[in-house]
Amino acid sequence: METLSHQELTRLLLALGVMLLAARALGELARRLRQPAVVGEITAGILLGPTVLGALTPTWNAFLFPVHGGLPAALGGLTTLSIVLFLLVAGMEVDLSTIWKQGRTAIAVSASGLVFPFAVGFLSAWFAPSLLGMHRGADALVFALFFATALSITALPVIAKILMDMDLYRSDLGMLIVAAAVFDDLVGWIVFAVILGLVGGGVSGGIPIGTTVALTLGFAALVLTLGKWLVNRVLPWIQAHTSWPGGVLGFAVSIALVCAACTSWIGIHAIFGAFLFGIALGESEHLQERTRATLEHFVSFIFAPLFFASIGLRVNFLEHFDLLLVVVVLLVGTAGKTLGCWAGARYAGVTQREAWAIGFGMNARGAMEVILGLLALEAGIIDARMFVALVVLALVTSMTSGSLMQRLLGLGRTRAIRFADFLAPRSYLSPLRSTERRGCIQELVRAVCDEKVLQAAEVEREVWQREQIESTGLANGVAVPQARLEGLGRPRVAVGLSRSGVDFDCEDGELAHLIILVLTSTDDHRAQLEILSDIGRTFRRPEMVEKVLMVDTYTQFLATLKVNPPTGPHVTRRE
Amino acid sequence: METLSHQELTRLLLALGVMLLAARALGELARRLRQPAVVGEITAGILLGPTVLGALTPTWNAFLFPVHGGLPAALGGLTTLSIVLFLLVAGMEVDLSTIWKQGRTAIAVSASGLVFPFAVGFLSAWFAPSLLGMHRGADALVFALFFATALSITALPVIAKILMDMDLYRSDLGMLIVAAAVFDDLVGWIVFAVILGLVGGGVSGGIPIGTTVALTLGFAALVLTLGKWLVNRVLPWIQAHTSWPGGVLGFAVSIALVCAACTSWIGIHAIFGAFLFGIALGESEHLQERTRATLEHFVSFIFAPLFFASIGLRVNFLEHFDLLLVVVVLLVGTAGKTLGCWAGARYAGVTQREAWAIGFGMNARGAMEVILGLLALEAGIIDARMFVALVVLALVTSMTSGSLMQRLLGLGRTRAIRFADFLAPRSYLSPLRSTERRGCIQELVRAVCDEKVLQAAEVEREVWQREQIESTGLANGVAVPQARLEGLGRPRVAVGLSRSGVDFDCEDGELAHLIILVLTSTDDHRAQLEILSDIGRTFRRPEMVEKVLMVDTYTQFLATLKVNPPTGPHVTRRE
Low-confidence ranges of chain A (pLDDT < 70): 1-3, 135, 197-207, 366-367, 411-416, 451, 567-575
Size (chain B), residues: 575
| Mutate which: A251, A271, A563, vs B, most B CBs within 10 A | A563
Q: Tell me which chain B residue has its CA closest to the CA of residue A11.
A: B261
CATH class for domain A419-563? Answer: alpha beta
- B236/A contact by beta carbon, under 8 A: yes
Residue B254 has pLDDT above 70, yes or no: yes
If you average pLDDT over residues B248-263, what whole number do you get?
Answer: 94
Burial of A487 (0-12, 13-18, 19+ CB in 10 A): exposed
Residue A13 and residue B375: Cβ atoms within 8 Å?
Answer: no
Q: Which residues of B touch A24 (CB under 8 A)?
A: 242, 246-247, 250-251, 254
Q: At a CB cut-off of 8 Å and minimum separation 6, what does A12 contact?
A: A4, A71, A74, A75, B77, B80, B81
If you average pLDDT over residues B476-484, what whole number do you get?
Answer: 89
Q: Tell me which chain B residue has its CA closest to the CA of residue A263.
A: B10
Note the CATH number of domain B6-414: 1.20.1530.20
Q: Cα–Cα distances in Å, from A117 out to A114, A125, A154, A328, B574?
A: 6, 12, 11, 14, 67
What's the pLDDT score for residue B95? 78
What's the pLDDT score for residue B225? 93
Question: Within 10 Å of residue B161's Cβ, how many Cβ atoms?
Answer: 30
Q: Which residues of B touch A255 (CB under 8 A)?
A: 17, 21
Residue B20 and residue A254: Cβ atoms within 8 Å?
Answer: yes
Question: Within 10 Å of residue A552's Cβ, how many Cβ atoms?
Answer: 9
Residue B4 and residue A80: Cβ atoms within 8 Å?
Answer: yes
Alpha-carbon span B388 to A485, nearest angstrom: 81
What's the pLDDT score for residue A575? 29
| Mutate which: B9, B21, B48, vs A, most A CBs within 10 A | B9
- Identify which of A100, A86, A87, A88 has the alpha carbon closest to the alpha carbon of residue A287: A88
> In chain A, where does the domain assigned CATH 1.20.1530.20 lie?
8-414
> Angle at the Cα of A275 (from A270 to A277), degrees rounded to 5?
105
Q: At a CB cut-off of 8 Å and minimum separation 6, what does A210 contact?
A: none
- Facing A73 at nearest CB: one of B3, B260, B293: B3
Residue A249 and residue B556: Cβ atoms within 8 Å?
Answer: no
Work out the minimum CA distance from A393 to partner chain B, whole angstroms. 19
Work out the minimum CA distance from B31 to partner chain A, whole angstroms. 9
The answer to whether residues A43 and A26 touch, using CB atoms and an 8 Å cutoff, is yes
What's the pLDDT score for residue A412? 52
Residue A258 and residue B13: Cβ atoms within 8 Å?
Answer: yes
- Facing A67 at nearest CB: one of B2, B205, B257: B2
Q: Are strands B482-485 and B512-521 parallel, antiparallel or unpaired?
A: parallel
The answer to whether residues A286 and A230 touch, using CB atoms and an 8 Å cutoff, is no
- B313/A contact by beta carbon, under 8 A: yes
pLDDT tens digit sequence for B17-26? 999 999 999 9
pLDDT tens digit sequence for B320-364? 788 888 998 999 989 999 999 999 999 988 899 889 999 998 888
If you average pLDDT over residues B152-170, what whole number do you get?
Answer: 81
Say what the ipTM of the complex is. 0.83
Work out the minimum CA distance from B300 to partner chain A, whole angstroms. 8
Residue B77 and residue A243: Cβ atoms within 8 Å?
Answer: no
- A246/B contact by beta carbon, under 8 A: yes
Alpha-carbon span A496 to B489, nearest angstrom: 63
If you average pLDDT over residues B482-486, what whole number do you get?
Answer: 88
- B489/A contact by beta carbon, under 8 A: no
Q: At a CB cut-off of 8 Å and minimum separation 6, what does A75 contact?
A: A12, A15, A16, A65, A310, A313, B3, B77
Work out the minimum CA distance from A76 to partner chain B, whole angstroms. 6
pLDDT tens digit sequence for B172-201? 888 888 888 888 887 887 787 777 767 654
B410, amino acid identity: G
What's the pLDDT score for residue A203? 45
Q: Tell me which chain B residue has its CA closest to the CA of residue A374.
A: B1
Fold of A8-414: Na+/H+ antiporter like fold (1.20.1530)
Alpha-carbon span B37 to A247, nearest angstrom: 12
Alpha-carbon span B401 to B357, nearest angstrom: 8
The DSSP 8-state label assigned to residue A134 in this structure reads B
Query: For helices B352-362 and B103-127, what crossing angle results, to 10°?
Result: 60
Alpha-carbon span A506 to A5, nearest angstrom: 68
> In chain B, where does the domain assigned CATH 3.40.930.10 lie?
419-563
- Facing A9 at nearest CB: one of B270, B302, B305: B270
Residues 25-84, chain B, touching A (beta carbon < 8 A): 28, 31, 37, 65, 67-78, 80-81, 84
The answer to whether residues A530 and A493 touch, using CB atoms and an 8 Å cutoff, is no
What's the pLDDT score for residue A567? 64
Residue A77 and residue B4: Cβ atoms within 8 Å?
Answer: yes
- Identify which of B483, B450, B490 has the alpha carbon closest to the alpha carbon of residue B466: B483
Residue A245 and residue B297: Cβ atoms within 8 Å?
Answer: yes
Q: Which residues of A touch B242 (CB under 8 A)?
A: 24, 28
The answer to whether residues B347 and B119 touch, using CB atoms and an 8 Å cutoff, is no
Residue B559 sits at φ, ψ, to 5 deg, of -60, -40
What's the pLDDT score for residue A400? 84
Residue A500 sits at φ, ψ, to 5 deg, of -80, -25
What's the pLDDT score for residue B252? 94
The DSSP 8-state label assigned to residue A418 in this structure reads -
Residue B70 and residue A76: Cβ atoms within 8 Å?
Answer: yes
Q: Tell me which chain B residue has its CA closest to the CA of residue A559.
A: B240
- A562/B contact by beta carbon, under 8 A: yes
> In chain B, where does the domain assigned CATH 1.20.1530.20 lie?
6-414
The answer to whether residues B268 and B310 touch, using CB atoms and an 8 Å cutoff, is no
pLDDT tens digit sequence for B375-398? 787 777 888 788 888 878 887 887
Q: Cα–Cα distances in Å, from A476 out to A258, A464, A471, A545?
A: 52, 22, 15, 7
